[in-house]
Amino acid sequence: MRFGGPILLPYKNPGEWLTQVREMGYSAIYFPVDHTAPDDLIATYFRLAQENNLTIAEVGAWSNPLSSDEMTANRAFETCCRQLALAEQIGAGCCVNIAGSLSDQWDGPSDNNFSEETFDRIVTVVRRIIDAVRPERTFYTLELMPWMFPDSADTYLDLIQAIDRPAFAVHLDPVNIICSPRAFYNNAALIRDCFRKLGPYIKSCHAKDIRLEGNLTTHLNEVRPGAGSLDYAAYLSCLKALPDEVCLMMEHMNRHEDVVEASRYIRQVAIGLGFSI
């Protein structure tokens, strides 16, 4: 298993970025620039990752290729293709995006997100992205989401079968599909189910946490790792059991101090299980 997360303190150049990565003890990284960066800057970050045994976990392609606005959808498609091409160039574990939404909010809920027509559109769009780039050493993946496909291990398997491309794989974020108190309290079983069904396809994972609040109706809030009730012992054990070295990446924190605390917590859980990350 490889472990990493965001770099939130400012840095002026790749050397300063590397210093912070080392200080955090990361073995995996988010690639710090996108496809619009100058070629020499991309090459420098890639070289530093190689020279320092840092796995490039993922390249984000965050956009909405299902947008009802044609221009937005086309622009998102181009972003996905270019980011997937970057992931291929640098040998990232995967390129990750959401499937897309028919909401006015790029990643928001919509009553049409779970229709058969939307499922078919996702299949078509993902095939187009993969076929345009034809990656050989990276993968295009979709993040699990609560209000769009894929919203479970089973719907992810449905997409894998329907898309039918070797370069389509899995990005796992179990917190995103903990949508009820029952799932919240039984999240270890949910995590194990995801790994049992999706394990061979998993290329990268996100690390965050979730807390159930006491005010009606149901309020499930994302929090930093260690401040919620996600069963990290189950999560890390499943990750450790995978035959390939998969990255676990912290995300969605705004303060460096929170990243430090989250990192410390996850590492303590790993030590309790008998290994270090």
Could you give the CA distance from residue 64 to residue 70 in angstroms, rounded to a whole number?
11
CB atoms within 10 A of CB 89: 17
Residue 277 forms part of a structural domain: no
Pairing of strands 55-60, 94-97: parallel
For 128, the token pair is 């187009």
Residue 41 forms part of a structural domain: yes
Say if pTM beats, i.e. exceeds, 0.85.
yes
The per-residue pLDDT for range 103-150, each reduced to its tens digit, is: 999 999 999 999 999 999 999 999 999 999 999 999 999 999 999 999
Q: Which of 132, 48, 49 is nearest to 92 (CA)?
A: 49
pLDDT of residue 11: 98
Residue 259 forms part of a structural domain: yes
Could you give the CA distance from residue 182 to residue 168 in angstroms, rounded to a whole number?
31
Identify the domain containing residue 25 by its residue range. 2-272
Residue 253 forms part of a structural domain: yes
Residue 153 forms part of a structural domain: yes
For 39, the token pair is 């070629």
Residue 46 makes CB contacts below 8 A (sequence gap 6+) with 56, 89, 90
Sign of torsion, CA 120 151 165 39? Answer: positive
pLDDT of residue 247: 99
Residue 117 forms part of a structural domain: yes
Find the CATH number of the domain harbouring 230: 3.20.20.150
76 φ, ψ to 5°?
-65, -40
Q: How many structural domains comprise the chain?
A: 1
Residue 163 forms part of a structural domain: yes
Average pLDDT of span 74-90: 99
Identify the DSSP state of 177.
G
19 φ, ψ to 5°?
-60, -45
pLDDT band at 220 (very low <50, low <70, confident <90, very high): very high
pLDDT of residue 157: 99
Residue 240 forms part of a structural domain: yes
